[in-house]
Amino acid sequence: MIASGAGIEDLGNAADMIRAKIRANPEESSHHATLGFLLQTQDIQAHTGGTLQGEALAAYRTALRLGVRPVEKAMLLMNTGVLLTTMSRPADAIELFDEALALDPFAFSVSAGQRAKLLYYKGSAFNTMGRLRDAEACFLAVLDLSPHFYKAYTSLAAIVKDDKASTVKWSDLAPRTEAALANATV
């Protein structure tokens, strides 16, 4: 598929190839999911100002409508939620994160790491909405699942630093943050 560090042109060419596959087989959900991911990645890397986001969202929604294998559903819901948050639609994103989190973790291979990512993105969406207590709860849940998830610490630290009503105290968070930095995973 696409090599790590692929350039914008590579992503654009790959998206064109996937569009051709969709024209040949419009009912193949994995093609739509792949197109959504490529366009979302291309939009981020090229700093296009969101010009590819609408097409990426349509591709993700088509993949979900057509049906994806259960093991892919949580990832697709997460990617769509991240895209919606980027599109200033965090409330819609939270609904998708909740749907993904409700999937049976054993039947659908939603690992603790993937659940941690879902909770992190859900917390970020709450943070975007200014719902700091909800964001804080999500980031704390991330750390319960994945104690070395550094982005959760930095997001939580920003809330603790700026919000006097925070339920978390910096003195409790600082030692955990230092340990996470030493063993950071994300």
- 103-122: per-residue pLDDT in tens? 865 554 557 778 899 999 99
pTM of the full structure:
0.81
Contact 126, 90 (CB under 8 A): yes
Q: Would you state the pLDDT for residue 12?
A: 78
Alpha helices in 1-131, H assignment, sequence order: 8-24, 29-46, 53-66, 70-86, 90-101, 112-128
Q: Would you state the pLDDT for residue 108?
A: 47
List of residues 6+ apart from 72 with CB closer than 8 A: 30, 33
Residue-wise pLDDT tens for the chain (186 aa)? 444 455 667 777 888 899 999 999 999 999 999 999 998 888 777 666 667 888 999 999 999 999 887 668 888 999 999 999 999 999 999 999 999 888 865 554 557 778 899 999 999 999 999 999 999 999 999 998 888 888 998 899 888 887 777 777 777 776 666 666 666 665
Q: What letter does residue 111 receive in the DSSP assignment? A: -
What is the Cα–Cα distance from 137 to 135, expressed in whole angstroms?
5
Length of the chain (residues): 186
Q: What are the structural domain ranges in the chain?
A: 8-131
What is the Cα–Cα distance from 87 to 100, expressed in whole angstroms?
19
List of residues 6+ apart from 118 with CB closer than 8 A: 74, 78, 81, 97, 100, 101, 110
Residue that has been written with the tokens 């709450």 in this structure: 126
Question: What CATH number belongs to 8-131?
Answer: 1.25.40.10
